[in-house]
Amino acid sequence: MNTAVKLEVRDLDLFYGEFQALKKVCFSLADREVAAFIGPSGCGKSTCIRVLNRMNDLIPSCRITGTVTLDGENIYGSMDVTALRSRVGMVFQKPNPFAMSIFDNVAYGPRMQGLRDKVTLSALVEESLKKAALWEEVKDRLKKSALSLSGGQQQRLCIARSIAMEPEVILMDEPTSALDPIATAKIEELIGELKKEYSIIIVTHAMHQAARVSDRTAFFLMGELVEWGNTTDVFTNPRDRRTEDYISGRFG
Ligand SMILES: Nc1ncnc2c1ncn2[C@@H]1O[C@H](COP(=O)(O)OP(=O)(O)OP(=O)(O)O)[C@@H](O)[C@H]1O
């Protein structure tokens, strides 16, 4: 396993106005490692992954202290936010393709970055769709609207859109919660492939999904990162009683 640290979070406190949503969160994610964030509703999982590509910048009441580094560089320092977001991509709970063709969805980010050459762009779109395990299903209808795809295909398209930016980290906020079991299985299988190239963090309410897809698991409770460890250890031999209660369904 690769042990080079990709993302490191130290003493992260996050406030929405007076409300503290994250409390002294610390963890580090290695290159090409998959982490799952689990915990009850409202415990801060989404807030925490949004910190990692500065999505919370858009919320005026949000204040952050602590440090977050990507390859050792402080992402809240002089790093350009657009550059950060191309290095740290995000896939949301509800598939959100743009109302344009399948091809244009994937080409959108690279075009915004100035890539105009048609041959290079086509190759990048094809490669991204292949990596997102969607190419075979869409290669004959790239000019068709992305909105004509099924929910599961739309989510893989959003993953392809993220891959086209050649990211280092992909954040996924409950990426399968709007999908049926077959589409969910496809995304889970895809995560297994994607981790060969990218570090991935997935927020999930499905404990079996966390156990299946991740190397590391973080259990959050009321803004606190209660437990962070190897997924097998967290699920079979948790250190904290609260983790054990949660994963065994005794919580609350
Ligand atoms: N923009 C915001 N302004 C104020 N409070 C917020 C904002 N976003 C989230 N919160 C609060 O921060 C806390 C953590 O929310 P967050 O969405 O991160 O939790 P979560 O663990 O992802 O929940 P869920 O599993 O339900 O998606 C909650 O109490 C929530 O109400």
Residue 172 is part of a domain; what is its CATH number?
Answer: 3.40.50.300
Ligand 1 center from residue 170 Cα (angstroms): 20
Domain presence at residue 131 = no
Question: In Å, how far are 186, 187, 199, 203 from 182, measured between CA atoms?
Answer: 6, 9, 24, 19
Residue 21 Cα to ligand 1 middle (Å): 7
Residue 103 belongs to a domain: no
Average pLDDT, the chain: 94
Stronger pLDDT, 58 or 105, i.e. the higher one: 105
Say if ligand 1 is within 6 A of residue 55 CB: no
Judge whether 145 and 101 are in contact, CB under 8 Å: yes
Averaged pLDDT for residues 154-167: 95
pLDDT attached to residue 249: 86
Supply 103's token pair: 């091809």
Q: Is residue 158 part of a domain?
A: no
Categorize the per-residue pLDDT at 1 as very low, low, confident or very high, splitting at 50, 70 and 90. low
Q: What is the pLDDT of residue 183?
A: 86
Q: Do the domain assignments include residue 16?
A: yes
Give the model confidence (pLDDT) of 220-241 as tens digits. 999 999 999 999 999 999 999 9
| Mean pLDDT to the nearest integer, 31-59 | 95
Q: Confirm or reject: Cβ of 217 under 6 Å from ligand 1.
A: no
**DSSP assignments along 50-116, one per residue:** HHHTTGGGG-TTEEEEEEEEETTEETTTT--HHHHHHHEEEE-SS----SSBHHHHHHHHHHHTT--
Report percent pLDDT > 90 for the chain. 92
The verdict on residue 88 lying in a domain is yes
pLDDT at 2: 60
- Ligand 1 pocket mutation, candidates 15, 45, 57, 171, criterion most atoms within 8 A of CB: 45
| Average pLDDT score over residue span 154-174 | 95
- pLDDT (0 to 100) of residue 178: 86
**pLDDT digit string, tens, across residues 108-154:** 999 999 999 999 999 999 999 999 999 999 999 999 999 999 999 99
Residue type, 191: I
Pairwise CA distance, residues 219 & 88, whole Å: 22
The pLDDT score that the predictor gives to residue 90 is: 95
Inform me whether the pLDDT recorded for 3 exceeds 80: no
36 contact partners, CB below 8 Å, separation of at least 6: 201, 202, 203, 204, 209, 210, 213, 214, 216, 217, 218, 231
Residue 115 Cα to ligand 1 middle (Å): 37
The verdict on the CB of residue 42 being under 6 Å from ligand 1 is yes
**Closest Cα to atom 16 of ligand 1:** 44
Q: Count of domains in the chain?
A: 1
Predicted TM-score (pTM) of the model is: 0.94
pLDDT, mean of residues 205-212: 94
- Asked whether the predicted pLDDT for residue 252 surpasses 90, the reply is no
Q: Give the per-residue pLDDT at 22.
A: 98
* 101 found inside a domain: no
Amino acid symbol at 219: F
151 within some domain: no
- Print the domain residue range for 229: 5-96+168-247
Q: Determine, yes or no, domain membership for 129.
A: no
